Structure 1
Amino acid sequence: MSNSKRSDNAPLNPQSASYEFLGPPGALAITLGVPVLTYVLFFTCNDSSGGCPPPVQTLYPSLAQALSDPAFWWKLWDPKAFSVYYSWYAFCLIAWAVLPGDWVQGTQLRDGKYQQYKINAFSTGLLALGLSTGYILRFGVQSFTFFYDHWAGFVSAALSMSFLQGVLWYALSFKEGKLLALGGNSGNFIYDFYIGRELNPTVGSLDIKSFNELRPGMILWLLIDISMACSQATRLGGHLTDSMILVLFFQGLYILDALYNEPAILTTIDIISDGFGFMLAVGDLLWVPFVYSLQARYLAFRPKDLGYAWSAAILAVNFLGYFIFRTSNNEKNEFKNGRNPKNLSYITTEQGSKLLTSGWWGRSRHPNYLGDLLMALAWSLPTGFDTPVTYFYVIYFAILLIHRQRRDDEKCEKKYGKDWDRYQRLVPYRIIPYVY
């Protein structure tokens, strides 16, 4: 313990000055609540739940069964799902190591060093898509319904991986010489385990945080959507509804865009300042693939035909959101990389940092979040209005983005001081111009 104390008390690793998420009680609540809510969204919204009524109407029977029937818990353990999931994670690791990719330097760390990142998430995604397509063509659409058929088991497998990584990287963060996250060194086990103690856990040249951010969960999300489409096609004799096609197209475009623009994540708060703990592990590995695919899973057992007019309207909402999301992120990334093709105006802080004040970033401080929200709405609209459950993602995402915006603004206020006040006067809106 003496070595870890020296490391924790070193100037580079000061004790965290404040808590987020309401401190240890909030961290504990989220640590327990995220897995429970993931299961709840399945047990209260499936083909036997009567069309996914609000969970308050269906949660009690599932809870009563969980408390009275030991067999309920065995449903969560599925050896086949565990073996497939852990094989999938191993595939992502092998693909990262084997597939070619450029090495990109991240932002400078507090110790003056730079983290290096291998960029090949897009080729990994294409490889996974190619293999999945070949499998479906060879064995038929009914062969690729196993994510739908073994859903609870896959959720449990992803949760086990999230927990194992949370424990592993928390324990290894006490080795001497580790660079800790400024917000993850509070000394409280519950909070630091959740928020992430070590800033950049690595194994050799593999950066664990960026690897988990895009590969095992994000690509799996797309494969799950395809599995849901295969399940619907199996039920409908090979036919897919326009609503399922829209969801698959929207989410597939978003996922492939994220993989293709992998370097863009290197400027996000997750990579720059958050440690890697249970929060990011469970978010990347469990929440993203198994909650974000809710609309596709719903349409697998509740097919819905929209018609041309409704489909066109939903397409317009999605592409408006995508246009805002992609063009605003391109402006930011070009500017951060020393390019300014649109000749955007900016202010220079006393520290030498530059903050955009025109273009999309002059309309609001987080215009990409507005694009994200419009796309989230478009992903839910194909499910219709029979249940509010399929709009859970929109509500959750709005809360998440507002919380992220506030976290980011707070960090910028501490970093830039009076320059941040000047910037806020020039760009007063947080996400939605003239609204918020």
Structure 2
Amino acid sequence: MNKKQIITIAGGGSTYTPGIIQAVLNNSDRLPISEIRLYDIDGKRNEDMALIIDFMLKKEGHSDVVLSSTENPKEAFTGCDFVFSQIRVGGMKMREKDEKIALKHGLVGQETCGLGGFAYGMRSMGGLLEIVGYVQEYAPEAWILNYTNPESIVSEAVRRQFPGIKMINACDMTISIEETIADNYGYDRKEWVSTYYGLNHFGWYTEIYDKSLGRDVMPEIIEKLTSQTMKVADFNEGDQSWQDAFNMMSVMTKDFPTHIPNNYLEYYLYPDMVVEEADKNYTRANMVMDGREKNTKEMAEKIRSGVKEDVLNFNFGEHGQYIVDMATSILNDEHRRFMLIVPNRGAIPNLREDAVVEVPAYVGATGVEPISLRQPIPDFHKGLMEAQVAAEKLLVDAYFEGSYQKALQAFTLNQSVPSARVAKIVLDEMIEANKEYWPELS
């Protein structure tokens, strides 16, 4: 039996924290814990979340687990074993600005894609590098399991400044896609061995081997996708924006029926359609603030008021389970397979070596072992990816060098942007909006 672990959640006030904690509690045989620390620079959000997590621990008979919430990095990280990072630098208010500035100029307004994603990336790099620095100082042997977006950009930044850090970068979107496909078409995702490549929120499935059926089921899934629209999975039920995204997945598959796309590709392949359907005054950030964030505050207030029944109101999904599975795979040397964001180094043989890509990988006690695809990827995908990789690298250059010129090049090259003129207009507005968060560019 492993010793009981100390887990720190960076961005502890996030509305996703209860899902992670629930997954930790559900897997206490594989991930025994002695302590949970919630770290957040927003003390009020962290206090609310601590109330909710304390309620969960007592309700499920885990009163022996020590819970703390803090804004002090030394208290948060000293001696911890795992850091689950899910910070959002600037919070939802800055996400709203990212989305609405882009939309005002006829561009995609989305938190990780397009110029909104680049604005968020410029904020996130500084925040995550700070977290990694704290971990290196106070818990150098800890593993950082990172959910902080935009993953490709922040992964590149961390790789440059902390090349030897024990960190795994992951996104649960592929699991969400697979769960949705399996639920709609009658498969068991636990029987799947999937092959996928791309960048974060920018990739394609090449094979979905079903062990129970003994065959690649991707051709039949493509046929289904092109003939019938999927319904969102239970964890996104009632969310029209996610339903729209999966509707677009069918459109993409009809137009390009050789692979199953990540549904975020709609922002790069069909930006005009996305903008036409968008509400410039009420974006996804507003939906989250009026939904998950409001719901979290209401739960905390119920607990403060002494309510004991019908308090927790979460739809956990796979988000928490995915990161916990990574932790247990490290702790128990399980060598489980995940889709992870890693330096390419030949995993995609005809893509530049230093790209940060998302591919299948095994995780064990020594970390990540990426799987080589062996075969070159198609020129269409390669061309899209190479342009986006270059744009992301230029953005990271801009951050470290304080270079306005590199930032403008990155914004111009982003796959959702039609011209340098509009890229410059949006960049200048983003600089003004992000004075508190971005490095000075000159």
TM-score tier by shorter-chain length is under 0.3
Larger Rg: 1
Task: Answer 1 or 2: which has greater helix percent.
Answer: 1
Task: Answer 1 or 2: which has greater strand percent.
Answer: 2
The TM-score normalised by the length of structure 2 is: 0.25
